[in-house]
Amino acid sequence: MKSHPSFSQVAIEGQRNEGESVFPLVYGCQDQAFGLEPFLDWVTENRDALLGSATAHGAVAFRGFATPDVEDFDRFIQALEIENFPYKKSLSNAVRVNRTPRVFSANEAPPEVKIFFHHEMAQTPLFPRYILFFCEIAPLVGGATPLCRSDVLYAELRQRCPEFAHKCEQVGLQYTNVMPGVDDPQSGMGRSWQSTLGVETKEQAVSRLAELGYAHEWVDGDCLRATTPRLPAVMEVRPGQKTFFNQLIAAYCGWKDERNDPSDAIRHGDGSKLDPESVAIAIELAERYAYDHKWQKGDIVLLDNTVAMHARRPFEGTRKVVASLAEMQTHAFDQAGV
């Protein structure tokens, strides 16, 4: 990492020590008069180191820099020189609104809705390697974005629930959700099937689902029930470093609206139900190892989506946190390992 006299690592409230690393790693600007251009030049110059730090630490946060608006955040992303993963090409089930070609609202769900821990799009064959968040307006009360290192969680889960962890590795997971015929912003998973699949007609939807290996069923209200193929529940990020890479907690706890019942949302890849006691321990561990990022205007957080999961606390007042996805990846369950 190339140093800069005005930029340095700083401590932040709630920051955790995980082995030899801090979570998240935080950079602060010591000179408030310092402009945006030198910051962006520093980001580009240290691009590889910053992305490497996101993987090593789980997340890198930036506070106090000259990034007051969404356009500045967009320029920060461009300075990192990472490939855009447009929201419209994702299979995310959240309703979002684009602000720039790279940047969109993090989630349009009402403020009282809690978004549970998850790895972004781990419940689909397509997922982003990196997620970036930016705070445009900080909430009056609540609204933190909790982060949790999934490798730390999984190491303890394997000790406390060895049979459950082994089964997750051996047979993976399958997810089922019912998509509405039109966007439902009152739900944290209310994106329509047309938008999710990038189609206009039911015939196109069926074709797209077949390409992805999904099973499907049309249900009342022009809704579509879709079940994924078997997907991995655990990812080996580096030799010896495994992460609990899935949407188990979010699906089990939070995939609930007028169309969806969490009890039907997720199963093991062999069709068997999850052990509720083991799931409860995974939920407990996620909260135990959570760092809550309490937003300040202009904050940026760079997350390695394969290492750290994220969530959203309910809030009061206006909260505008936007996001960007980068470096589309694919994953599929390795049948040879079964």
What CATH number has the domain bearing residue 68? 3.60.130.10
Same domain, 209 and 277: yes
**Phi, then psi, of 303 in degrees rounded to 5:** -115, 130
pTM for the model stands at: 0.92
User: How confident is the model over 224-234, as pLDDT tens digits?
Assistant: 999 999 999 99
Same domain, 176 and 232: yes
Give the chain's mean pLDDT.
Answer: 92
Same domain, 129 and 157: no
Same domain, 192 and 245: yes
Report yes or no on 79 lying in a domain: yes
User: How confident is the model over 184-202, as pLDDT tens digits?
Assistant: 988 878 899 999 999 999 9
> 2 pLDDT band (50/70/90 cuts)?
low
Report yes or no on 99 lying in a domain: yes
Same domain, 74 and 168: no
When mean pLDDT is compared across 50-64, 84-98, 265-279, 301-315, the lowest value belongs to 84-98
Report yes or no on 1 lying in a domain: no
| pLDDT the model gives residue 211 | 94
DSSP for 291-333 reads EEE---TT-EEEEETTTEEEEE--EES--EEEEEEEEEEE---
d(CA 116, CA 12): 23
Question: HSE (CB half, 13 Å, CA atoms) of 238?
Answer: 5
Q: What is the residue range of 318's domain?
A: 7-110+125-140+293-337
Report yes or no on 120 lying in a domain: no
User: How confident is the model over 82-93, as pLDDT tens digits?
Assistant: 999 988 888 887
Same domain, 264 and 306: no
| pLDDT the model gives residue 207 | 97
